[in-house]
Every structure is written in structure tokens, then in C-alpha cells.
Amino acid sequence: MKAQRVVFRDKGKVELEAFEAASPSAGQVQVRLLYSVISPGTELAFLHMMPNAVTEFPTYAGYSASGRITAVGPDTDDCREGQLVAVPAGHGSHAVLDGAACWSVPEGLDPRDAAAFRLVSIALQGVRKAEIRPGQSVAVLGLGIIGNLAGQLVREAGATRVVGIDPVAWRRALAESCGFDTVCEGPEALGDAATDVVIEATGAPEAVNTAFGLAARLGRVILLGSTRGTTKEVNFYRDVHKKGLTVIGAHDSMRAAVEDQGALFTHRSDGRTALSMLAAGRVRVGPLLSDTVGPDQVVEAYARLGGRQEPLMTIAIRWSDD
């Protein structure tokens, strides 16, 4: 079957290439994608070979999509042809993957919103690791898509004051519309008001020191954004040791493998929770999908996201009609 997919051919070079979609083997399914959603921070970092983003070209981008199962291989349980599923597939018209890597999309959930489930799951695992307690205050540094979702999720976890910090005005306005209590351009606007939990979601090395400064005594700092570079001149005695801070690395790969354990949840559990919360309207991703384009506009989509000349949170790619 003729198919299309997005490839990073070389540094800074995005292409749409043709390929032959494979038939599923035992335990696998073939999925015709409806939508995939660009993860701008991660994908642009790998496309442009930013620090801590090791890339060998060519590489295939994307990891959050929705579609319908078109073929089921032998010995594949709980999957059926025609089923609407969310999948960790790359950007393309078709994908073959393990049946166990498919999540059934809840009835009534827009397939475009469902396609962002992995982004919700990434934010969710960071919030789980933060172990928010009812009544606590939380500051989120960086109001890109992961930071925005994290702010929505900490309120669901019981935080009573959620502050969003970002220098970009339209991001602040969007965060406010998504339920943040307070938004501000920089941490100085908060004065001496320290917060119980700080979630660093910018990925900027210098923001780590800002997070340490914002955290209250015995507070927790969650490093949710993948830092692109080295943080310099950290005064660990003053900013971490003496304040009694807990610093938690919240990379999405650090998960329970088989069963949920404490604050560590499996990909399976968080994917299911993400979809349930989206379906229930407890998390809103629709406002964060700034545009929807077809495959012929993919190259331009990455240029638009990288150029940062327009208010774009991220872009969904529509591969086929349902």
C-alpha cells in the first residue's frame, strides 16, 4: 500500500516521502492515521540538533496520533478493524505497531484532540512526580504546550493557586483562558511570594536557577522541560541545600515498566488517563492546536513553528478523513 510520512532528511531539512505500508505481523495492527500532532519543543530540537538532542539523519518525527485500525495481525487481542485508536506513531498516513501500543479512543472525543494524548501524558507524568497536595501553590515556568497542560493538570491534582510565567503575551492569555489563576511576564512580578512546587517547562538552562529561586523552603522543583544546554553558576548551598529543596527530573522515559508504583506510572496507565480526561473535558487541548494542515503543508508547518513569527502553540496534521 502506498503511504506517506515525514522525514528529517538532514539538519534543518524536512521532507514528505513515499513508502510502502507494511502488513501487520503477529501481535500487530496497521493503522490509517487521521491526525498527528507536532511536539514542537522535542521535534524542533532534534531537527536543528540542539544540545542534548542527539540525532542521526535521516530520522522519522512524531509520536502522538490517532487513526483507525485497517488490518489486524494474528494473535492480536483487543483490537478490531475499524476501531478508532490513539497511537504513539510518527507523522504519516499509515503505521504498523503492536496492538498493545493502541489505546481505544473514548466515545465522543474528537480524533484531533485524541491525537495529542501523548503530549497530555508527558505533562501528566511530570505532575504525578510532583505529588501535588490539596491546597498547595504551583508555578509553571514556560507556557508552551507542555507547560500549559501541566498547569491544567495541577489544578485537577488539587493545587489552589496556579501561576504561569512566560514572556510571550499570547501564551499568557491562552494559559489564563485554560484556567491559570495568575499569569505574568517574569518571576519578578511575584515579589517574595514563593511557591510550594515549581514546574520548569521551558527547557532553557537559565530557567533552572529561576525555578530554584521561586521555590519555597522545603519545596519541590520539577524539571519537566528537556534542558537544551548547561546551567551555569548554580549556588547549590544557598538555593537548594539550605532551602531543603527536592529536585525531580521528570523525563517521560522515567516510568514504571509494568505496574504503577507510587508516583511512577506506566505509559499504558497515563495514556488511558490522558484520554479519559480529554473526553471528560477535564483537560482542554483544542485551544492549543493552533492550526490543522494537510501533508502538502508539512514542510511549511515546521518552518512556521520554528520561525515564531505568529501565535502558534502547535500544529495538527490531517492525514485522512474519518
User: Helix crossing, 117-130 with 267-280: angle to 10°?
Assistant: 110
Contacts of 245 (CB under 8 A, 6+ apart): 212, 215, 218, 219, 220, 221, 239
Q: Is residue 278 part of a domain?
A: no
Shared-domain flag, residues 228 and 143: yes
Residue finishing a domain among 249, 276, 308:
249
Q: What is the pLDDT of residue 212?
A: 96
Q: Quote the domain boundaries for residue 164.
A: 123-249
Quote the pLDDT of residue 295: 98
Residues 67 and 154 in one domain: no
Q: What residues contact residue 183 under an 8 Å CB cut-off, 6+ apart?
A: 143, 163, 164, 165, 166, 172, 173, 175, 176
Q: Is residue 309 part of a domain?
A: yes
Q: Do both 106 and 140 map to the same domain? A: no
- Together in a domain, 245 and 309: no
CATH number at residue 23: 3.90.180.10
What's residue 247's pLDDT? Answer: 97
Q: Are residues 82 and 184 in the same domain?
A: no
Q: Are residues 132 and 244 in the same domain?
A: yes
The string of DSSP codes covering 92-127 is BSEEEEEGGG-EEPPTT--HHHHTTHHHHHHHHHHH
Do 21 and 57 reside in the same domain of the chain? yes
pLDDT of residue 139: 97
pTM comes to 0.95
pLDDT tens digits for range 82-105:
999 999 999 999 999 999 999 999
Output the pLDDT for position 288.
Answer: 98
Does residue 259 lie within any of the structural domains?
A: no
Claim to verify: residue 111 and residue 127 sit in the same structural domain: no
Do 13 and 110 reside in the same domain of the chain? Answer: yes
Same domain, yes or no: 111 and 26:
yes
In a domain, 257, yes or no: no
Domains contained in the chain, number: 2
CA angle 197, 199, 202 (to 5 degrees): 155
The beta strand positions in 166-224, using DSSP E, are 182-184, 195-200, 215-223
Stretches in the chain below the pLDDT threshold 70:
none
* pLDDT at residue number 52: 85
Span 100-134, pLDDT tens digits: 999 999 999 999 999 999 999 999 999 999 999 99
